[in-house]
Structure 1
Amino acid sequence: MKLYIAEKPSLGRAIAAVLPKPHKKQEGYIELGNGDCVSWCIGHLLELADPEAYDPELKKWRFDKLPIIPESWQLQAKSQTRKQLTVLKGLIKQADQLVHAGDPDREGQLLVDEVIDYLKVPASKKQQMQRVLINDLNPEAVRKALAKSRSNRDFIPLATSALARSRADWLYGINLTRAFTLKGQQAGYQGVLSVGRVQTPVLGLVVRRDQQIAAFQPKPFYEVQAHISLTADQPQIVFQAQWQPSEACQPYMDEEGRVLNLKLAQHVAQRISQKPAVVKNTEQQTKQEAPPLPFNLSQLQIAANNRFGFSAQQVLDLCQALYEQHHLITYPRSDSRHLPKAQLADAGAVLEAIRQNLTDLAAGVAQADQRLVSKAWDDSKVDAHHAIIPTAKSANIGRLSDPEAKLYQLIARQYVAQFYPAYRYQSQQVLFEIDGGSFISKARQNLQLGWKTLFEQNPEEQHHPAVKEGEQLFCQRGVLIDKLTQPPKPFTDATLLAAMTGIARYVQDKAIKKVLKETDGLGTEATRASIIELLCKRNFLQRQGKQILSTAAGQALIQNLPESTTLPDMTAHWESQLEQICDKKLKYQDFMQPLQQLLGQLIQQAQHSEMQGLQGLGSKKTFKKRKSSTRSHSTAPRRVKRASPAQSSRNKSSHSAN
């Protein structure tokens, strides 16, 4: 008997739908017509054991018991899904062949693997285990994925990397949360001061932004515009050119090149009025913009927040419904914005489904040119999963909720754009000299709107009259424009997600910046929304309309923690090493041992922390509620098994492979 193990029931049903009938629906699995079975994991069947599972004394939070570092890691069955684990245990024992059908990512790989190890499946059966990567729950896509199964052993490094991150986050979160909570209690804080490798730097981003806003002092600065006509006796303004201050003006400017001296700007505006404006240089270039790539989850969350005000978590929930319930989009927790070239074969069917599903896009689909192949199709940039796109399923869109329909349309429009030509425009720039000063006028003229026609607003045009180098025009007047510097804007879901994905912008160290540019940033596609919600739930962040602000407790926590825990540098270091584990360039133990040394240092720092500003904050009720579940302090998915020397032979083989 062949047993397919999916990550969720929805995927299990999709797999069974393309396999031999008739089907018999059993408790926790589907029996196929040929005797094979399809079952599933209902997400996390297992979780890392609490500290007290290793030692009952660890149920009490005490400094002298830190750091907590298990010698032999333990998993425990989740009480609410224990029944399904029992179902899988019986099926796995009967099966001759196992097929791993977890979600196509690092954590999805580990989720099923850990069940196989926990149930002590014989090594011979594990050796023969197959892996299928399913991005799309529609029947034809599932059939294709099942036909391309690979050996599950090919994915050992992927699971080992996920394992290392999961255990490391457990160690980091459990130990530092206990240490700083104990110190916070001594300072009068009532509650848990949770610390995590990802959540704390995210909180640090918001706190520092709020501090910048609070400390901001607006400063006036000045610009000068030259209003230029063709001749002195023709008052019609044909150019508005911006003053470009010379090096001599540097003492009167700030670090961003803004002129802060009012008298200087007034002098320039008065001096250029009623003066000749000589064309010193003209530039004209034809440029183009390719269609925007299809969405990954973070970019979809950013776009949906900007357009509809949806929170990051709301977008993820809507995506899961569109994927699992309606089968209208492909796997949503993707970090890729590219597509495999093989997907081009399905493009016609996908476009036809969009045309039938969305009347607003029907005309746009009709104009799509399937002969065009955008840069989205790139096999070298697609690994376990590809960009989020519509499936080839036609459906009654009226059955979708309004938010679901909006999100589906957003995804569909981005896909249709891949079959449109680039947006082409002519960029023009004219450099003038007026009484010894330099002034620049820029304009843009649309040549071909291309994919822009699919979107609501077309780019504005500015037209320059044709002029030649050396030609003399006339500055009718200089116009002084006074402005005020603006504070940074508070974070929203969109801008905070953008900061998490583009965290390299907030790092000074060039080496760390380089690493972060090459990784996914802070968190993963699957966890970023939950991290934001977690910080809000723990009262470290709060929402005011679309704004995300830090609370007094959040600010005090960041101010009292070691700076290294509040910066993204550690994430850069970890992600670099986790990628090396995936590439078999680093061993599991070489990642974990330095972390254990670091924990000891950070706990010592916690012992000497005064935890100022926390007195009277927090809730004792919250502390009691969370005290028994220290696993919640980790920000990464809590899935662990394998890759510990003290565990199974599968673990040992994964070490040697890395």
Structure 2
Amino acid sequence: MIIYIAEKPSLGRAIAQGFAGRQQKRDGYIELENGDCVTWCIGHLLEQAEPDKYDPAYAKWTLQHLPIVPDNWLLVPKKGTSKQLTVVKRLLKTASQVINAGDPDREGQLLVDEVITYCKVKRSVIVNAGRLLINDLNVNAVKKSLNNIRSNREFTGLSISALARSRADWLYGLNLTRAYTLLGQRGGYSGVLSVGRVQTPVLGLVVRRDAELAQFQSKPFYEVFATLVTQAGHPQGRQQFQAKWQPSAACEPYQDEEGRVIVKKLAETVVNKTRGQSGIVQANTQKNKQSPPPLPYNLSALQIEASKRFNLSPKAVLDVCQSLYERHQLITYPRSDSRYLPTEHFKEVPSVLAAIKANSPEHKNAVDNAKHTLKSKAWNDSKVEAHHAIIPSSRNKVLSSLSTDEAKIYQLIATQYIMQFYEPHKYQEQILVVIIAGGEFVAKTKATVALGWLALTKQADDKTTHPLPALSKGQAVDCLDSQLIEKQTTPPKHFTEATLLAAMTGIARYVQNNDIKKILKDTDGLGTEATRASIIDLLFKRQFMQKNGKEIHATLTGKALINALPSEATQPDMTAIWESNLDKIAQRQMRYQDFMLPLTQSIGNMISSSQQIDTSLFAGLASTKPAYKKKWRKNKKTG
């Protein structure tokens, strides 16, 4: 008997629909006509054991016990799931073959593998286990996946990598949370000071941004603009345009680190030297350019866009996506980190576009004008791994049956998909360089030639600038006037949920070390597609951050914690190294022990050095609710 183990009941039901014949719905599973069974987890059925399962003495938080490092790791049934775990365990005893049908990501792989191991399935069955990867819950897509079951052994590296991350997060979060909570208590703070491999660097971003804003002093800088006109006899008549002065290398001593002129006298000199003078055209270039349609969304890109457009939190967007995927089956797997599509999917384009048109009347014209045969750069097998970009499914369902937020998110995803079947946006860029009294002035314009995919956006209404005069190198122009414009440097903005999420995905921007920066560019940033929203939400719940309108500010407790921790715990560098090594484990280029041993030693060193901290940092802080101490383990997966 073959036992299929899905990650969730909704996925289990979708798998069962992929089989023909009569089926019997049982308690916790579905029996197929041939006797095979489809069962499911309810998310995680198992979780890492609490420290007191290893030693009852660990129930008391005390520095003498740290670091707590299990010799033999224990998994225990998660509260409220024991009934379903019993069902799965009973079915596995009769299995001749097992199919892992967890979600197509690292966590989904481990989630089911852990259950198989915990239930003590026969070695021979484990060796021959299959792996079913499903990105789309529609029947046709499920049937296709059922005909392409792979060996579960192909994903052993991924499973070990997920296991290493799970255990490492447990070690890091539990030990440092206990250590700093105890330090806080010494300083008079009675709440829990939780530390996490991902949550703490995210909080560090906010604390450092707040400090930067508090210390910011606006300073003046200066720009010079020349009003130029073509001379008499020009074929197009006297045409006027504006050009901006470009400081030369000799001006560097008078500029700030961003190249802005900060000495007013220099700018005034340029104005006086150029006003009323003639200029000579050094170059006039016209280039035809084009921009391809933006790629379909992954989860982070979708969350950022939805936050900007609809002011929806990242968690709200994820919840809506899960509903569109599981309940309505209108989109593909949402927790995707990919923005690319497999070339095989191209055969399904007509049915997906037809579904969009049927579901959303607002998209009728967009679909009618789409060119089904166009293949954008989104179709790239080399960039698709376990799952592909989030796109609409081929299911028909009128959007009036959806909630307001569900309809909004579906339409965002649909528009981004339709864009793949529009021509690139084509435009002409003109750059005119004029030398006046030895100084270089540049004028730029951009004129749309063909809207292409831009026709599907609000940007299509933007006015293009007027073209510059047709001038050749060596031709003269007159400088009617030069003006000095004084501006003020502006501070960076407080993070919002959208910009904080963008910072997590593009975390390399906040790293100075070039080697670390490269690692972060090659990985997915801080956290994963599945956890980023919950990490931000968790920092609010733990009262380390708070919102002021859309702005995110660190609380006094959040600032105190970051200031107390060693820099390595508050910067993204450590996570970059973790992710690089976890990827090596997944690719079988690194052993589990070679990752875990140095990590354990590092945690011990951090706990030892924490004893030198001035605990008065925590004096007078408003404590978090005592319940947080109980909830820390519940939220461990968010880092």
> Do the structures match in fold with TM over 0.5?
yes
1:645 maps to which residue?
A: none
Stretches of structure 1 that go unaligned for 5 or more consecutive residues are 638-658
The partner residue of 1:276 within 275, 278, 294 is 278
> Residue 491 of structure 1: SS of its match in structure 2?
coil
Aligned partner of 1:526: which letter?
A: A
Q: How many Å separate the matches in 2 of 1:471 and 1:460? A: 29
Residue type at the aligned position of 1:461? T
Correspondence for 2:493 among 489, 494, 499 = 489
SS in 1 for 2:224: strand
Find the aligned partners of 2:60 and 2:633 in 1 and give their Cα distance: 15
Structure 1 residues 270-296: Cα deviation after superposition (integer angstroms, max 9, x where no partner):
332222122111111111111101111
Counterpart of 1:128 in structure 2 is 128
Correspondence for 1:340: 342
Report the equivalent of 1:415. Answer: 417
- 1: distance between equivalents of 2:152 and 2:138? 23
- The answer on whether the counterparts of 1:282 and 1:430 sit within 8 Å (CA) in structure 2 is yes
Q: Please say if residues 540 and 553 of structure 1, whose CA atoms lie closer than 8 Å, have aligned partners that are also in contact.
A: yes
Answer yes or no: is the 8 Å Cα contact 2:210–2:494 preserved in 1.
yes
Question: What secondary structure does 2:433 align onto?
Answer: strand
Aligned twin of 2:326: 324
Paired residue for 1:609? 613
The equivalent of 2:43 in structure 1 is: 43
The one-letter code sitting in structure 1 at the alignment partner of 2:275 is S
Alpha carbons 1:132, 1:145 under 8 Å: kept: yes
Name the aligned partner's letter for residue 262 of structure 1: K
Instruction: State whether residues 172 and 634 of structure 1, in contact with CA within 8 Å, keep that contact through their aligned partners in structure 2.
Output: no
Matched, 1:540 2:572: no
Alpha-carbon distance in structure 2 between the residues aligned to 1:179 and 1:27: 45
Distance 1:176 1:237, change over 3 A: farther
Equivalent residues of 1:170, 1:633 under 8 A apart? no
Q: CA deviation at 1:250?
A: 2.1
Alignment check: 8 A CA contact 1:560 1:612 kept: no
> Who is 1:291 aligned against?
293
Q: Distance in 2 between matches of 1:471 and 1:630?
A: 72
Per-residue CA shift, 1:235-272, capped at 9, x if unaligned?
A: 97632100111233222211111111223223322332
Is the aligned partner of 1:304 residue 2:302? Answer: no
2: CA distance, partners of 1:384 / 1:139: 19
Aligned to 2:527: 523
| Aligned residue runs from structure 1 range 614-653, under 5 A | 614-619=618-623, 622-623=625-626, 625-632=627-634, 634-636=636-638
8 Å Cα contact 2:194-2:632 kept in structure 1? no
Q: Secondary structure of 2:528's partner? A: coil
Residue aligning to 1:461: 464
Separation in 2, partners of 1:614, 1:431: 59
Structure 1 pair 615/528, CA: closer, same or farther in 2 (3 Å)?
A: same
TM superposition shift of 1:635? 4.5
Q: C-alpha separation between the residues in 1 aligned to 2:233 and 2:449? A: 33
Does structure 1 residue 361 correspond to structure 2 residue 356?
A: no
SS of the residue aligned with 2:530?
Answer: coil
Q: 1:503 aligns with which of 491, 507, 510?
A: 507
- Rounded to whole Å, the distance in 2 between the matches of 1:544 and 1:362 is 40
Query: Contact 2:239 / 2:469 at 8 angstroms: preserved in 1?
Result: no
- Give the fraction of aligned pairs with identical amino acids, expressed as a percent: 55
Give the secondary structure class of the aligned counterpart of 2:628: helix
Which of 403, 406, 413 pairs up with 1:404?
Answer: 406
Say whether the 8 Å CA contact 2:534–2:638 is kept in structure 1: no
Of 609-618 and 319-328, the range deviating more from structure 2: 609-618
For the pair 1:139 / 2:139, whether they are aligned, the reply is yes
1:478 and 1:527 map into 2 onto residues whose CA distance is 54
Distance, in Å, in 2 between the alignment partners of 1:460 and 1:592 is 57
Partner of 1:29: 29
Task: Map 1:182-331 onto structure 2 (within 5 A).
Answer: 182-231=182-231, 238-331=240-333
| CA apart distance, 1:90 | 1.2
- Partner of 2:135, secondary structure, is coil
Offset, 1:632 = 4.1
In the other structure, the counterpart of 1:9 is 9
For 1:562-581, list aligned pairs within 5 A: 562-581=566-585
Q: Which whole-Å CA distance do the structure 1 matches of 2:634 and 2:97 have between them?
A: 36
Letter matched to residue 528 of structure 1: R
Q: Check the 8 A contact 2:422/2:453 in 1, yes or no.
A: yes
Matched with 1:172 is 172
Instruction: Tell me if structure 2 keeps the 8 A contact 1:166–1:636.
Output: no
SS in 1 for 2:426: strand
Tell me the distance in 2 between the aligned counterparts of 1:62 and 1:528.
Answer: 31
Alpha-carbon distance between aligned partners in 1 of 2:351 and 2:256, rounded to the nearest angstrom: 56
AA partner of residue 430 (structure 2)? Q
Match of 1:555 among 555, 559, 562: 559
**CA–CA distance in structure 1, aligned partners of residues 143 and 87 of structure 2:** 25
Contact 2:181 2:192 in 1 (8 A): yes
SS in 2 for 1:613: helix
Instruction: Look up the SS of the partner of 1:337 in the other structure.
Output: coil
CA distance in 2: counterparts of 1:633 and 1:180, whole angstroms? 18
Distance of aligned partners of 1:188 and 1:201 in 2 relative to their CA distance in 1, 3 Å threshold = same
Uncovered stretches (5+) of structure 2, i.e. residues with no partner: none
Asked if structure 2 preserves the Cα contact closer than 8 Å seen for 1:3 and 1:98, the reply is yes
